[in-house]
Amino acid sequence: MTDSTSRAQQKARTAGLILEVARHRFASDGYDGTSIRAIAAEAGIDAALVMRYFGSKDGLFSAATEIDLEMSDFSDTPRQDLGAALAQHFVERWEATDTGVPLRILLTAAPKDTAAAEKMKTVFEQQLLPVIAHAVPGDSNGDAVPAKRAALIASHVLGFAFCRYVLKLPAIVAMDEAEATTWLGPAIQRCLEGGIAPLRR
Amino acid sequence: MTDSTSRAQQKARTAGLILEVARHRFASDGYDGTSIRAIAAEAGIDAALVMRYFGSKDGLFSAATEIDLEMSDFSDTPRQDLGAALAQHFVERWEATDTGVPLRILLTAAPKDTAAAEKMKTVFEQQLLPVIAHAVPGDSNGDAVPAKRAALIASHVLGFAFCRYVLKLPAIVAMDEAEATTWLGPAIQRCLEGGIAPLRR
DNA sequence: CATTCTATTCAACGATCGTTGACCCAACGG
DNA sequence: CCGTTGGGTCAACGATCGTTGAATAGAATG
């Protein structure tokens, strides 16, 4: 602890650098398209060091895709404003670099890796569903309705993200955050209201 | 031409078998997860034969992802019914085995392969956009509006397909074709009507 | 200074992949 | 019956990958 850069700090810094590089490579090239050698080269270290810190490529991928949607304080949001509030929150999460990059990684890796698909499913169902279940309790006859609402909201958000970040449709890419929020708000709000036929079943 | 199974027919039949096997493997395991050796083994032939018929793995992939959305006769559909009609058409296309499998292939391959993403973009923009542009002509002030409408429709359809075929969210998988159509119809219809703020810009 | 520890590197193994060229064998034309 | 064509197979090359164990160098410690 004599030097300003102790060896524990050096290790943490290198591991952080690996994580940062890995996130960008995974996000742009996918899981298979990204090699540990490429990550190591971009980080200026040896490939074996990545193995030593994260155990395996899967371990590095898991560490690089830790996602927290930070969905907490929607308890007091009126139900009629929840669609707009959720839209704004999701757009901000996807556009932010800290949470957006891992989300985009999972979005691109989900098709091939079953674990990534499961992880994204868990993220959306376990972080989004409680908010929905609290705001719109299950009807008297059916109890799977909140899950359906959450899934349909996820469908809207993921479809928008897919067209914006994967397909890069010009008309979707051109929208700024405010415009995206304005568009997604009513679409999400529709999933929260009870009169729609598919939600009745 | 003496035998019932001439050699030209044999070649066509084998090539068709390769294509069929390749489509299912690509759809379930993605582009990288599918090896030419695995396709050849499942088809009961040698890997070199695949190369002989399709030139390369990319050639096989391109041949396996030829998509025709068969969007032709929407000219007479009233504008107010177009959302429901498009919803029914898309749900049928995605559920059908002939067109649905290649669509699912592109959906899973688009994140990694830029060519696949470009192909899917072309499919949706060049086969969907003319229908939209014909039904809802460009406004007097802006001309990029039909493209935005088509992109937002694609966002809805692809988001639904992503949750249904990739993430396999239980609430979305459980929906039958009629329920999916009933849900997607109003969502698509909303993209066709002009009073919505993001479409004004 | 000697020793220990650890972050990091080096070299290599085994596996898998796309791709290629030589080869085999049954079906056709003469 | 012989020569040719072409569908199909076999073995191998070169490249890349994830992964591993030994080796190195420099800080921490006594």
Cβ separation B169–A151 shorter than 8 A? yes
Mean pLDDT of A88-114: 91
End-of-domain residue from the set A64, A87, A115: A64
Does a structural domain hold residue B201? no
pLDDT digits (tens, 9 = 90+) for A47-100: 999 999 999 999 999 999 999 888 878 989 999 999 999 999 999 999 999 899
Is the pTM higher than 0.95? The answer reads: no
Distance in angstroms, CA of B54 to C1' of C22?
20
pLDDT digits (tens, 9 = 90+) for A178-201: 999 999 999 999 999 875 555 554
Residue B91 pLDDT greater than 90, yes or no: yes
With CA atoms as reference, report the closest residue to B24 among B79, B84, B65, B55.
B65
Alpha helices in chain A (DSSP H): 7-33, 36-43, 47-54, 57-64, 79-95, 97-109, 114-135, 145-161, 170-173, 177-192, 197-200
Nucleotides of C under 7 A from a protein CB: 6-11, 16-22, 27-29
- Partner residue facing B107 (CB), from A111, A170, A198: A111
Count of structural domains, chain B:
2
List the single range of A137-141, A144-148, B107-111 with lowest mean pLDDT: A137-141
With CA atoms as reference, report the closest residue to B123 among B166, B76, B157.
B157
pLDDT digits (tens, 9 = 90+) for B124-178: 888 999 999 999 887 655 556 899 999 999 999 999 999 999 999 999 999 999 9
Does a structural domain hold residue A23? yes
Range of B38's domain?
Answer: 3-64
Q: The tokens of B124 are what?
A: 């949706």
Does a structural domain hold residue A70? no
Whose tokens are 């839209």? That residue is A87
Q: Which residues from A are below 8 Å from B186, CB to CB?
A: 190, 196
Does a structural domain hold residue B70? no
A88 with A136, same domain? yes
| Distance in Å, alpha carbon of B37 to nearest chain A alpha carbon | 18
Does a structural domain hold residue B134? yes
In degrees, rounded to 5, the angle at the alpha carbon of residue B199 between the alpha carbons of residues B197 and B200 is 70
Nucleotides of D under 7 A from a protein CB: 6-11, 16-22, 27-29
Which letter does DSSP use for residue B142 in this model? -
B89 with B186, same domain? yes
Q: The tokens of A185 are what?
A: 């708000």
Ranges of beta strands (E only) in chain B are: none
Contacts of A90 (CB under 8 A, 6+ apart): A157, A184
Single-letter amino acid code for the residue at B143 = D
